[in-house]
């Protein structure tokens, strides 16, 4: 397998947080995350709110400094860059981030033309080249430069704003693009348009794209691989089809069971994965698995957080679960006996 474009190894990020009465403390936003992004692929990152998705993107573009771990992009350790080296890396724009909220990230007083040319000016591209590059980028995202060039962000629709944010990101011809929830604020038709646009940009420009989302459904049709985050940790990763049809972490199982568009044979049901009604949630300590309190497969070993390790017998999958290879058969057994005992209760 070729060297990945981006390699993140044991990355931990903490934020300073005010603590009542005791001054400043820290809160972990990412813990011991290891993840690769390959040239030309679409990697989908999914996880509930606060699980660390945006922090991963911000650390990769140099907006937050890792507490520990390394981030290697195209063979260069970018996690440790500081001062002018960091500014130079960000100016070149080889890794770009499209922020979660395009309206807030676009300066309301700048026209589309000014917004899209700004990264070129920062990267030092001569003014004489900028106009052509701006029009090329606006055209690549499917908009007509002649009608949109002089408009302000408030004069654009939500879908157009998302495209302008994308044009601004690709104008520097990056190798890697992070899109933070690019479709969560869009209606279904705009959502599909933006996702197929990202797929086209990946093919035409050879870009690697990381799409961050809350739900698996929007990633299912576009991503090559999926990475699942839960409470600051990467709990599972692998090729999209395999993760969707044979999840290895109970949290991924819950996500797939709850996503109506993720239809597959032997479909999991949310009830197969949730704690039984009235059951006491397992009690954990600071070292326990992050999913312990919600996990019906918890056992003694789970009082120690499992490492994210390759899944036995697979080429390209990782999971952080002590029962990664055994819980699916527990469900099969339970479901079979439930079906036999109570034939009318299926669903
Ligand atoms: N600037 C900050 N200062 C302090 N804590 C922060 C800061 N940014 C994020 N956090 C905390 O870090 C954790 C991870 O946040 P992050 O924004 O990466 O989550 P996320 O997965 O992107 O969530 P969402 O889906 O809501 O966007 C959260 O607990 C969050 O409160
Ligand atoms: S390690 Fe244990 S508690 Fe955590 S998800 Fe796996 S089975 Fe559940
Ligand atoms: Mg976020």
Domains along the chain with CATH numbers = 6-223 (3.40.50.300), 236-340 (no CATH)
Nearest ligand to the CA atom of 227 = 1
Between CA 301 and CA 249 the distance in angstroms is 15
CB environment 40-51: b (16+ within 10 A), e (fewer): ebbbbbbbeeeb
Ligand 2, atom 1, lies closest to the CA of 321
Query: How far is Cα of residue 169 from the mean position of the Cα atoms in its chain?
Result: 17
| Length of the chain measured in residues | 347
Residue 232 DSSP SS3? coil
Q: Using a CB cutoff of 5 Å, list residues around ligand 3, an ion.
A: 54
**CB of residue 250 inside a 6 A radius of ligand 2:** yes
Ligand 1 center from residue 54 Cα (angstroms): 7
pLDDT tens digits in sequence order for the chain, 347 residues long: 568 999 999 999 999 887 776 666 788 999 999 999 999 999 999 999 999 999 999 999 999 999 999 999 999 999 888 899 999 999 999 999 998 787 788 999 999 999 999 999 999 999 999 999 999 999 999 999 999 999 999 999 988 999 999 999 999 999 999 999 998 888 888 888 889 999 999 999 999 999 999 888 889 889 999 999 999 999 999 999 999 999 999 999 999 988 877 655 567 888 888 888 888 888 889 999 999 999 999 999 999 999 999 998 888 999 999 999 999 888 866 655 444 443 333 32
- Whether residue 151 contacts residue 144, with contact meaning beta carbons closer than 8 Å, is answered with no
Between CA 100 and CA 102 the distance in angstroms is 6
- Whether residue 59 contacts residue 13, with contact meaning beta carbons closer than 8 Å, is answered with yes
Q: Is 298 left (phi over 0), alpha (psi -120 to 50) or beta?
A: beta
Between CA 115 and CA 108 the distance in angstroms is 10
Beta bridge partners of 11: 33
* DSSP3 helix / strand / coil % (the chain, rounded to 5): 40, 20, 40
Q: Which of 50, 235, 255 to mutate to test the pocket of ligand 1 (most atoms within 8 A of CB)?
A: 50
Ligand 3 center from residue 214 Cα (angstroms): 9
Q: Which of 248, 252, 298, 329 to mutate to test the pocket of ligand 2 (most atoms within 8 A of CB)?
A: 298
List, edge to edge, every strand of the sheet that includes 6-19.
Answer: 23-37, 6-19, 68-73, 76-77
Q: Decide: pTM greater than 0.75.
A: yes
């Amino acid at each position: 397998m070729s060297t990945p474009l981006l390699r993140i190894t044991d990355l931990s990020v903490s934020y300073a947080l005010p603590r009542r009465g005791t001054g400043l403390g820290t809160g972990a936003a990412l813990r011991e995350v290891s993840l690769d992004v390959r040239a030309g692929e679409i990697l989908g990152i999914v996880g509930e709110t606060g699980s660390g998705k945006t922090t991963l993107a911000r650390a990769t573009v140099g907006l937050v400094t890792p507490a520990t771990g390394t981030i290697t992009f195209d063979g260069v350790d970018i996690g440790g860059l500081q001062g002018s080296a960091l500014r130079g890396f960000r100016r070149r724009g080889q890794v770009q981030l499209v922020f979660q909220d395009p309206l807030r990230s676009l300066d309301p007083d700048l026209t589309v033309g000014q917004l899209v040319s700004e990264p070129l000016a920062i990267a030092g591209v001569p003014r004489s080249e900028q106009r052509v590059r701006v029009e090329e980028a606006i055209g690549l995202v499917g908009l007509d430069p002649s009608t949109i060039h002089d408009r302000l962000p408030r004069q654009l629709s939500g879908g157009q704003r998302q495209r302008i944010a994308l044009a601004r990101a690709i104008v520097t011809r990056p190798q890697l693009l992070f899109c933070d929830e690019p479709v969560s604020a869009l209606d279904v038709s705009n959502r599909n348009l933006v996702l197929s646009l990202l797929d086209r940009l990946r093919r035409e420009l050879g870009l690697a794209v990381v799409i961050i989302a809350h739900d698996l459904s929007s990633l299912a049709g576009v991503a090559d691989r999926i990475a699942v985050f839960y409470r600051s940790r990467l709990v599972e990763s692998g090729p999209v089809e395999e993760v969707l049809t044979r999840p290895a972490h109970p949290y991924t199982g819950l996500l797939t069971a709850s996503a109506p568009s993720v239809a597959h044979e032997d479909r999991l049901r949310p009830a197969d994965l949730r704690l039984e009604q009235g059951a006491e949630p397992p009690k954990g300590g600071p070292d326990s698995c992050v999913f312990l309190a919600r996990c019906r497969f918890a056992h003694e070993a789970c009082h120690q957080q499992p490492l994210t390790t390759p899944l036995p017998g697979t080429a390209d999958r990782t999971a952080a679960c002590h029962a990664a290879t055994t819980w699916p058969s527990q469900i099969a057994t339970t479901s079979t006996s439930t079906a036999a005992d109570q034939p009318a209760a299926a669903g």
